């Protein structure tokens, strides 16, 4: 996928580490495992949170996290982003003075695999967001995207134990991010979009993880009208997607998918009978859950 604007580097030695062990036959083997490290985020002079992350693209992660927690506004001017790899901290400095002491007292633990924490009101501004009603999801785009995403080189195929998220336009993946928690991967994409001025109105968001309330809320906050996953749904995630007018497509594997919200955006322009179904494959490469 040479057209991707940004993506992880599966061969980056900072992101994985060889670990020796025994296989099922008792043989000594070396396995590549994902490295996770703490990253403490400051907004101006205030410590906000410490996230466990693989450590790539810390600036995008920091900005995206603050955006998705409603601590940064769309019109905020970022004066500087300072990252210290040795101290494992990143500081985002804005022209606007900020103080979130009261907001930080309120926490909601989310259902993300890495136990993401959302500060403040989980539904803040959610009901006020209007998603683009003219956005479309053609089934030909969906089939092309799912095949491309699930066959591209990735940290998942290198070491597993990781989630991926992809920002797409029509049938083309644009931004690919991975992390130990899918909320981190989402935030990296949100940060990249903000810093590069990429609009959300005609985009499709793809995640390898479950379609939970957290994923729906973050996608709506990013104002992306379509959310797709190869995994399944939670009931609250579906309810929120319907309330927000978000197109929610899950279980997208091969020629199969299931839409439970925003079905009116789907254009059936491809013959599913001529599409290949996803083969059942053993091992990590066959199950991107």
Tell me the C-alpha distance between 265 and 268, whole Å.
10
224 occurs within a structural domain = yes
The 10s digit of each residue's pLDDT in 241-259 is 999 999 999 999 989 999 9
pTM of the model: 0.86
For the chain, give the mean pLDDT.
87
Residue 42: both structure tokens together: 């400051």
Give, to the nearest 10 degrees, the angle between helix 182-196 and helix 58-68: 90
Are the beta carbons of 207 and 182 closer than 8 angstroms? yes
* pLDDT computed for residue 114 by the predictor: 45
Kindly state the helix (H) or strand (E) to which residue 67 belongs, with its residue range. helix 58-68
Judge whether 232 and 209 are in contact, CB under 8 Å: no
Number of domains in the chain: 1
Asked if the structure places residue 124 within a domain, the reply is: no
**Does residue 104 lie in a domain region?**
no
Which residues lie across from 117 on neighbouring strands? 109
CA distance to 2, 23, 135, 153, 275, per residue, from 148 (Å): 12, 31, 21, 10, 14
**Structure tokens, 76:** 């905020």
DSSP state of 231: S
Mean pLDDT, rounded, for 199-217: 94
Mean pLDDT of 101-122: 57
Q: 137 by DSSP, 3-state: which? A: strand
CA dihedral 24, 287, 289, 28 (to 10 degrees): 20
- Nearest of 49, 175, 54 to residue 116 by alpha carbon: 49
What spatial distance separates the first Cα and last Cα of the chain, rounded to whole Å? Answer: 21
Confidence of residue 110 (pLDDT cuts 50, 70, 90): low
pLDDT tens-digit map of 152-165: 877 766 666 688 99
Give a yes or no: residue 259 inside a domain.
Answer: yes
Enclosing domain of residue 202: 137-286
Secondary structure percentages of the chain, helix, strand, coil, to 5:
25, 30, 40
Phi-psi region of 230 (alpha: psi -120 to 50; beta: other; left: phi over 0): alpha
Give the pLDDT of residue 38.
95
Q: Is a pLDDT exceeding 50 seen at residue 283?
A: no
Which has more pLDDT, 146 or 157? 146
71 falls within a domain: no
> Pseudo-torsion of CA 52, 54, 56, 57, nearest 10°?
-30
Would you say residue 44 lies in a domain? no
* 183 found inside a domain: yes
User: Which residue has 């810093």 as its token pair?
Assistant: 195
CATH number (domain holding residue 210): 3.40.140.10
């Amino acid at each position: 996928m040479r057209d991707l604007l940004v993506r992880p580097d599966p061969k980056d030695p900072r992101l994985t580490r060889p670990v020796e062990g025994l296989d099922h036959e008792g043989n000594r083997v070396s396995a590549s495992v994902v490295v996770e490290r703490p990253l403490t985020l400051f907004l101006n002079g205030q410590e906000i949170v410490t996230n466990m992350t693989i450590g790539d693209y810390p600036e995008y992660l920091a900005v995206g996290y603050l955006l998705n927690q409603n601590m940064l506004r769309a019109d905020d001017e970022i004066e500087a982003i300072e990252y210290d790899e040795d101290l494992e901290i990143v500081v985002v400095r804005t022209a606007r003075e900020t103080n979130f002491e009261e907001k930080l007292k309120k926490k909601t633990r989310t259902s993300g695999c890495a136990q993401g924490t959302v500060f403040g009101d989980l539904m803040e501004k959610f009901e006020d967001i209007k998603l683009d009603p003219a956005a479309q999801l053609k089934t030909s785009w969906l089939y092309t995207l799912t095949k491309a995403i699930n066959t591209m080189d990735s940290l998942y195929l290198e070491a597993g134990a990781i989630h991926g998220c992809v920002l797409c336009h029509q049938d083309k993946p644009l931004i690919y991010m991975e992390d130990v928690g899918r909320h981190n991967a989402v935030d990296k994409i949100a940060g990249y979009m903000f810093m590069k001025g990429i609009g959300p109105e005609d985009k499709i968001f793809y995640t390898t993880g479950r379609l939970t309330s957290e994923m729906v809320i973050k996608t709506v906050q990013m104002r992306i009208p379509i959310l797709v996953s190869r995994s399944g749904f939670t009931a609250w995630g579906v309810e929120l997607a319907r309330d927000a007018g978000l197109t929610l497509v899950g279980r997208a594997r091969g020629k199969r998918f299931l839409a439970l919200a925003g079905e009116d955006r789907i254009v059936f322009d491809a013959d599913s009978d001529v599409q290949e179904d996803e083969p059942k494959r053993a091992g990590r490469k066959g199950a991107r859950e």
